[in-house]
Structure 1
Amino acid sequence: MRVDEPSAPFRIVEGQPADACPPASLTGLLVAPLVIEAPATRSRLLGVRLRPAGALALFGLPQQELTGTAVDLHDIIGGGEARRLTERLAAAGSDEARLRLVHRWIVDRLGDGARTDPGVAYAVAEIERTGGTTPIAGLIERVGASPKRFATSFERQVGVKPKLFSRIVRFSRLAAALPSAEDSLSQTALAYGYYDHSHMDADFREFAGVSPRRFLAATAFPESSSLTD
């Protein structure tokens, strides 16, 4: 969300219908490239990265309703509350004060959200711990749920099916590691669970919209798969 008085909006130019970004928005798990055009003037932004199931816990929203899209926060919590939050953040005297304010706001909302499935939370933790390489069938067996029930609960809580989430985790780990990797692209791909270079290349084109070499040539944010141009 923006914490300054916007002179010009950020605009989505690729990945969703072209439109101005709302001053405060909630974005679901991205499953394809999203290109946002920033205004020429300097802007102040504050972002909160939610854990899987965060939107469900905070807002009671099934996560798959947000997958691959950005929604105006006004439409989620109401215009009055969203406006009060953005105004308080803009008026805060420092970035530290803004972080404390938004932390308090999140804590106060947590009791109003939907209950989450601990089996899904365990599966998410295992997928992240193994960098997206753990077999899904084994996870389902350890959780003790039927495959259909597990997939439905996982998608509601995370936003996508377990196998796609595993691919996204694997890709994100690799993309964050590539700029500082000392091995070749192919060796690094193997280390992060890819079969070969073409397997890695396919995920890069699907999730980032560019080849691995084009990704490396661009300017990336630290420990992130986001690029700035």
Structure 2
Amino acid sequence: MRRDTTIINPRQLYIELGVDELKKLNCPQLGISHFYEFSLGQGKTHELKAVPDGSIDLLFNIGSDKVTTYISGTVFSVKDWNLGDADLCFGVRFQPGQGILPKDLTMDMLVNNDVEIDGNIFGENLTEKIALADNIVDRSRIFKEAYETLVYGRPDLSDKEKINEYLVSRITRAKGCVSMNELVDETNYSACYLRRVFKNYHSISPKQFAQYIRFQILLEKLKTGNMRYDELALECGYYDEAHMMKGFKNYAGITIEQYRKLQEITGRNRI
């Protein structure tokens, strides 16, 4: 597992645009991308939408008398995201393809789904400690200390785990722009075997994962630049502008122009 590098900062555009008091703390360690915290606010829906990012999210919904914990895998396309009933949410977003699951949890259970779990399976009395903490910095430290036990307590990687690690790293570092033929040449394994190994760990294919990475790169470019759409498409690995537009609408549920208008209205680019 890559423990100390950040390659992509996976973004959830509806969290960016639809919640109150959004805070973020980068964490380029332990396969984590960043921590985030926000208030849903009175009168706001407690279901927002998730978009594909190839990542796992662990979310603690902190109420006055209980903490409800959800774990979610990547979604296939834009989908309602259950965030709980209390206003305060503290989340952990892992790097695409990263994140260690405690036993009894599998990616088959998480992909395109939000699963309520006992948050204490990640650490003794973890939910209580997170609820009693004063801010995102303290909550992040508490989670990291508990999660390190899982990371550093792992046995040595098996051959299949090493193959999976390579595929995740290669696809992510190539920003989703690497062919199966290249992966076959680099690993000396057949395409069928590589697909089977990858899907066993992630419940999605390498091709789907690469598409989600390209979509995330596009979100980042839309946040920071004003490139022409034809140039943007090529920069992000799409065949052409039409291919980019179709992919964005499928994954975000809105057009790029609609997304940019929402950015202007909210004035938020924070996560």
Query: TM-score range, shorter-chain basis?
Result: 0.7 to 0.9
The 3 A distance-change label for structure 1 pair 200 and 151 is same
Matched with 1:215 is 259
8 Å CA contact retained: 2:76, 2:251: yes
8 Å CA contact retained: 1:151, 1:161: yes
What is the alpha-carbon root mean square deviation over aligned residues?
3.6
Matched with 1:30 is 75
* Deviation of 1:179 (Å): 3.0
* Deviation of 1:14 (Å): 6.4
Counterpart CA distance in 1 for 2:115 and 2:83 is 18
Identify the match of residue 142 of structure 2 among 101, 106, 111.
Answer: 101
Counterpart CA distance in 1 for 2:149 and 2:177 is 36
User: Superposed, which structure 2 residues align to 1:188-227 within 5 Å?
Assistant: 188-219=232-263, 222=269
Counterpart CA distance in 2 for 1:133 and 1:59 is 31
* Deviation of 1:181 (Å): 1.9
Per-residue CA distance 1:107-164 (angstroms, 9 max, x = gap): 1223369956112211211211121111122113312323222112212323310011
Matched with 2:101 is 58
The 3 A distance-change label for structure 1 pair 3 and 196 is closer
Matched with 2:182 is 138
> Gaps spanning 5+ residues in structure 1: where?
16-20, 225-229
Matched with 1:168 is 212
Letter in 2 for 1:106: Y
The 3 A distance-change label for structure 1 pair 53 and 165 is closer
8 Å CA contact retained: 1:67, 1:159: yes
Q: What TM-score, normalized by structure 2, do the two folds share?
A: 0.65
8 Å CA contact retained: 1:73, 1:82: no
The 3 A distance-change label for structure 1 pair 114 and 165 is farther
> Gaps spanning 5+ residues in structure 2: where?
1-35, 51-60, 62-66
- 3-state SS in 2 of match to 1:109: helix
* Deviation of 1:49 (Å): 1.3
Counterpart CA distance in 2 for 1:113 and 1:47 is 27
The 3 A distance-change label for structure 1 pair 223 and 160 is farther
Which stretch has the larger CA shift, 211-220 or 81-90?
81-90
The 3 A distance-change label for structure 1 pair 203 and 159 is same
Counterpart CA distance in 2 for 1:70 and 1:182 is 35
> How many pairs align?
213
User: Superposed, which structure 2 residues align to 1:36-47 within 5 Å?
Assistant: 36=81, 43-47=87-91
The 3 A distance-change label for structure 1 pair 114 and 161 is farther
The 3 A distance-change label for structure 1 pair 38 and 50 is closer
Counterpart CA distance in 2 for 1:113 and 1:136 is 29
- 3-state SS in 2 of match to 1:49: strand
% identical aligned pairs:
20
The 3 A distance-change label for structure 1 pair 184 and 148 is same
Counterpart CA distance in 1 for 2:234 and 2:37 is 40
Matched with 2:5 is none
- 3-state SS in 1 of match to 2:90: coil
* Deviation of 1:210 (Å): 1.0
Question: Which structure is higher in helix share?
Answer: 1
* Deviation of 1:204 (Å): 0.9
8 Å CA contact retained: 1:9, 1:38: no
- 3-state SS in 2 of match to 1:24: strand
The 3 A distance-change label for structure 1 pair 196 and 9 is closer
8 Å CA contact retained: 2:69, 2:116: yes
Letter in 1 for 2:116: D
